[in-house]
Structure 1
Amino acid sequence: MHRMIVSCAVLLALTACSVNPVTGKRELTLVGEATEIQMGEQNYLPMRQSQGGEYDIDPLLSDYVQGVGQRLAAVSDRELPYEFVVLNNSVPNAWALPGGKIAINRGLLTELGSESELAAVLGHEIVHAAARHSARQMEQGMLLQGLVLATAVATSDSDYGNMAVGGAGVAAQLLSSRYGRSAELESDYYGMQYMARAGYNPEGAVSLQQTFVRLSEGRRTDWLSGLFASHPPSQERVDANLKTAAALPAGGESGEERYRRAMAKTMAAIPAYEAYEEGRKALADNNTALALQKAEAAIQQLPDEAHFYALRGDARLLDKKYDMAITNYDSAIRRRSEFFYYYLQRGRAYERTGNDVAAESDLEKSLTLLPTAPAHLTLGQIAARRGDRSRAIEHYRVVAQGEGEVAQQAQSDLVRLDVGENPGNYVQKRCDPGSDGNLVVSVRNATQLPLRNIAILVTYNDGSLQRQMERRVSGTLAAGAVASVATGLGPYAAGSACPVVISNAQVAE
């Protein structure tokens, strides 16, 4: 404790010391509560969008989960603007953002057996928020990556569930990383305290962890990529929960029948979502016929689910049946009007038909919900076609910072559009003395495209006069390749200022 107080004093200029409202321990904090709450609020919408959107097929279930969460939040150790949402995602998972923004996936709800087990999950996540576990993860991410959460932008070109977004791009990575052993034990312990205070049977947390340990031994991939990635189960946690439960008052509500009633509609929909997931897997394998078959089966069972129509639209888009794709995205949007993916895909379909006006409208709408690489790339291409060079470059640069096929396409498009105006952004230079002591300039093609007509402009002193001399790199310089140009000017001392600018370059196509 003494060392912690000393550390707080030493770092006071950069950070602040505070007492953790859950544990009572003094700890260093990088941001105040207002900033912490703001971090959660800024990332809550993009995080929800990136992970399937809200599960709105059964509004009563969402109300039920919100009620259980608020019942626990009312007895927690920290007042925060708690919110609880059910996400339309089959992967078993739950997470908490700073400031009390908490989500649980449909795929985890279908694995629970009682309201007390639900309370155990939500109580655990409440502690992660209240004890600042999730905030500390985000703080570390901000320091390590040099990012403010609200400024990162999507660069993934994979399925929407994996698209990094805004602040959620950083947040999603951090929330899928493992909480430390102490944070998990702490959240289990205090979460059970909240359960008991709220009138729930804390044995629900014991049975929940026992189930998690059993499932982890089975190594189901959906669990390994979901909850277990960030909340690793262990026998140690089971034993700790048994000990905690023994010290708490016996009894309390289990709510098994109440939970069954609340989950009835969602449990009945499991086969429809299973068909949907099989359809998405078929689509990833370019098997559009099977994807369409699975989409039809899902729609027959649950015609109100918009995701199923989007799957059918994706299959039509892959088959280049753009008008049919648009019709299906229309159906999805009529059923769920505020989900980014439907607008993104309809915009891409419109662009393929040559309707840039409709495409741009849909793609811009998608960006307001979730910034993604495909939307920025397509908007850049549309802007380039109409001659809006600055707007195109703006979109391309956002995407070009990332990885994957979409990022590579953006990088290539950016080079083609901008290398003539700003060759120095794409060709690197280095100055060294040659064996004769004169200046030798090395140039490197920093793009993924071959370049030609690369020219350098050397500024040098000729007596009392300052002169310039241009030299050209002969032939084509391949992507990543380096060429040397002997200028004959000197003597040049190593480490001196490099008196060279890249004055010209063109894509060799």
Structure 2
Amino acid sequence: MNIRNGIFLALLVLTLFAGGCAVNPVTGRSELALMQVSTQEEVDIGQKTFPQVIQQMGGEYPDPALAAYVNRVGQRLGRVSARSDLPYQFKVVNDSSPNAFALPGGFIAVSRGLLVNMENEAQLAAVLGHEVGHVDARHSVQGMQRGTLLNVGMAVLSGVAGDTGLGTLAQQAGGLAANLIDKSYSRDQERESDALGIDYMVRSGYDPQGAIQLQEFFYRKIEGGAEPMWLTGLFRSHPFSKERLDANRDYVRRQYPQTLNNPNYSLLPQPLQQATARLRSVKGAYELYDEARKLEGQGNLSGAVASYLKAAAAAPEESLILTGLGMAYLKAEDTQSARRHLQKAAQLQPEYFLTRLGLGYAYLQGGQNPQAVSELEASMKLLPTLQGAYLLAEGYEKTGQRQKALSLYQDVAKADPNGKLGQAAAKRAQALGGR
């Protein structure tokens, strides 16, 4: 390399890094940002990926009173946060794994499996406040800027809003959604969000001891040899340690000594217990459901069906359990039983893609093609999938909608060129006169 080229390269590097650093107004930290992401772009990314994430995690838990309660607690924290102008949303996902996550722009969810382990509202506020802290500190955006996700995020934003087919935009949004919730935060980011969450709790009138109680509970999970559900849930993306617990105890003592034994700062056990009464009443049924899923994953289909049946008998109005049972019956080629349970699940919770997908397949198998198309279209609107697209194309073909079938077969073939579904779709497209 000659001197001139060396000087040019050095200047280029300096320009990139000087122009790519910004001070986060919430944390005061200097951040590498080779491409700036505006607040509106954050919100747009969150809005487009949040529905996909919710579907991937079992859909929303169908309890309107619980949903309203969790959102009310979350909004209370959002109003006192450093970025109170964000359009915060707080949802409950129907997932047994103890988990919580935040997407850019203020889109936050907590799982059924985490909620059922809480004792008071201050503990819920600690979880939601922590996630608000991640949003305010732009931790997800930082992760996108350091990796390849930013390009995907920008591609999603440049796409056509409302695209629910199996096009490029839908695939990109689904991939971005999965990556955003799978990213693990650093220990520094976790400590930063802990502090912000505690700040927001105190500003909202919650006793910050609720945060310490919850982290003591987390530590007991680690100390006792962390249960698998916790390792695949909260602790996978939110690393925890004894040092972090100690740091938060010290933070509360130093920053908020006035809250100790002060009745103006509340734990509020009763509202939380009332709001989660249904969750606690069906906890045993979901333990049977989780066991059924494990047996199914091990290939023990008869054992899985037996466990699903016990779970459904214990909690006959839980749509996710009925969906699991229906899908297991489909694997066992008992279409009639599958259809019966999936129909009830869809009546209880129509906004879950897997229920509508399974029911659509059951209708196809029974020759009820118009009903199949209706269910499969609903499934694809909730979460576009390869399986849903292929089955919907088959439904279109069987109901004489040749052009729609051809187009969708071609989409599947393009999205999965080396897979079984993609190759099968390519053959069907060719048979219909496509290329």
What is the one-letter code of the residue matched to 1:276? Y
Q: Distance in 2 between matches of 1:370 and 1:311?
A: 17
Deviation at 1:384, TM superposition (A): 6.6
Deviation at 1:286, TM superposition (A): 4.2
| CA contact 2:153–2:176 (8 Å) conserved in 1 | no
- Residue 182 (structure 2) pairs with residue 176 (structure 1): yes
Aligned to 2:47: 41
Aligned mate of 1:266, from 248, 270, 279: 279
Aligned mate of 1:191, from 197, 204, 224: 197
- Residue 111 (structure 2) pairs with residue 72 (structure 1): no
Deviation at 1:398, TM superposition (A): 5.0
**Unpaired runs of 5+ in structure 1?**
1-5, 156-163, 402-406, 426-509
Deviation at 1:19, TM superposition (A): 4.5
Aligned to 2:59: 53
Q: Distance in 2 between matches of 1:153 and 1:284?
A: 30
Q: Distance in 1 between matches of 2:13 and 2:406?
A: 48
What is the one-letter code of the residue matched to 1:236? E
User: For each residue in 1:102-122, what CA deviation from the matched residue of structure 2 results, as whole angstroms up to 9, or x when unmatched?
Assistant: 000010012222222211111
Aligned to 2:346: 333
What is the one-letter code of the residue matched to 1:271? G
SS of residue paired to 1:148:
helix
Deviation at 1:421, TM superposition (A): 12
| CA contact 2:76–2:204 (8 Å) conserved in 1 | yes
What is the one-letter code of the residue matched to 1:21? P
* Change in CA separation of 1:117 and 1:60 when aligned onto 2, cut-off 3 Å: same
Q: Distance in 2 between matches of 1:60 and 1:112?
A: 17
Deviation at 1:35, TM superposition (A): 0.9
Aligned mate of 2:413, from 397, 417, 423: 397
Deviation at 1:319, TM superposition (A): 2.2
SS of residue paired to 1:85:
strand
Aligned to 1:95: 101
User: For each residue in 1:72-124, what CA deviation from the matched residue of structure 2 results, as whole angstroms up to 9, or x when unmatched?
Assistant: 11111112111111111110000001111100001001222222221111111
SS of residue paired to 1:24:
coil
- Residue 259 (structure 2) pairs with residue 250 (structure 1): yes
Q: Distance in 2 between matches of 1:114 and 1:7?
A: 54
* Change in CA separation of 1:418 and 1:14 when aligned onto 2, cut-off 3 Å: farther
* Change in CA separation of 1:390 and 1:61 when aligned onto 2, cut-off 3 Å: closer
* Change in CA separation of 1:410 and 1:244 when aligned onto 2, cut-off 3 Å: same
Q: Distance in 2 between matches of 1:367 and 1:42?
A: 15
SS of residue paired to 1:357:
helix
Q: Distance in 1 between matches of 2:44 and 2:236?
A: 26
| CA contact 2:45–2:156 (8 Å) conserved in 1 | yes
Aligned to 2:331: 318
**Greater relative CO (CA pairs within 8 A, separation 6+):** 2
Deviation at 1:71, TM superposition (A): 1.5
Aligned to 1:239: 246
Deviation at 1:44, TM superposition (A): 1.4
Q: Which moved more, 1:92-101 or 1:140-149?
A: 140-149
- Residue 37 (structure 2) pairs with residue 21 (structure 1): no
Residues matched between the structures, number? 404
Q: Distance in 2 between matches of 1:282 and 1:199?
A: 45
| RMSD of aligned Cα (Å) | 3.3
Higher strand share: 1
User: For each residue in 1:173-197, what CA deviation from the matched residue of structure 2 results, as whole angstroms up to 9, or x when unmatched?
Assistant: 2322211122111101111111111
Q: Percent identity?
A: 36
Deviation at 1:258, TM superposition (A): 3.3
SS of residue paired to 1:53:
coil
Q: Distance in 2 between matches of 1:187 and 1:10?
A: 31
What is the one-letter code of the residue matched to 1:172? A
Q: Which moved more, 1:225-234 or 1:65-74?
A: 65-74
* Change in CA separation of 1:38 and 1:7 when aligned onto 2, cut-off 3 Å: farther
Q: Distance in 2 between matches of 1:239 and 1:257?
A: 28
Aligned to 1:410: 421
| CA contact 1:149–1:168 (8 Å) conserved in 2 | no
| CA contact 2:97–2:229 (8 Å) conserved in 1 | yes
Deviation at 1:361, TM superposition (A): 2.6
Q: Which moved more, 1:214-223 or 1:330-339?
A: 214-223
Q: Distance in 2 between matches of 1:360 and 1:237?
A: 52
Aligned to 1:309: 322
| CA contact 2:73–2:125 (8 Å) conserved in 1 | yes
Aligned to 2:4: none
Higher helix share: 2
* Change in CA separation of 1:8 and 1:83 when aligned onto 2, cut-off 3 Å: farther
Deviation at 1:165, TM superposition (A): 6.4
Q: Distance in 2 between matches of 1:141 and 1:97?
A: 17
Q: Distance in 2 between matches of 1:8 and 1:263?
A: 54
- Residue 387 (structure 2) pairs with residue 374 (structure 1): yes
SS of residue paired to 2:421:
helix
Report the TM-score, using the length of structure 2 for normalisation.
0.82
Q: Distance in 2 between matches of 1:238 and 1:122?
A: 17
User: For each residue in 1:394-450, what CA deviation from the matched residue of structure 2 results, as whole angstroms up to 9, or x when unmatched?
Assistant: 23235406xxxxx7212322554578999xx9xxxxxxxxxxxxxxxxxxxxxxxxx
Q: Distance in 1 between matches of 2:321 and 2:40?
A: 40
Q: Which moved more, 1:130-139 or 1:377-386?
A: 377-386
Aligned mate of 2:219, from 209, 213, 229: 213
What is the one-letter code of the residue matched to 1:22? V
Aligned to 2:120: 114
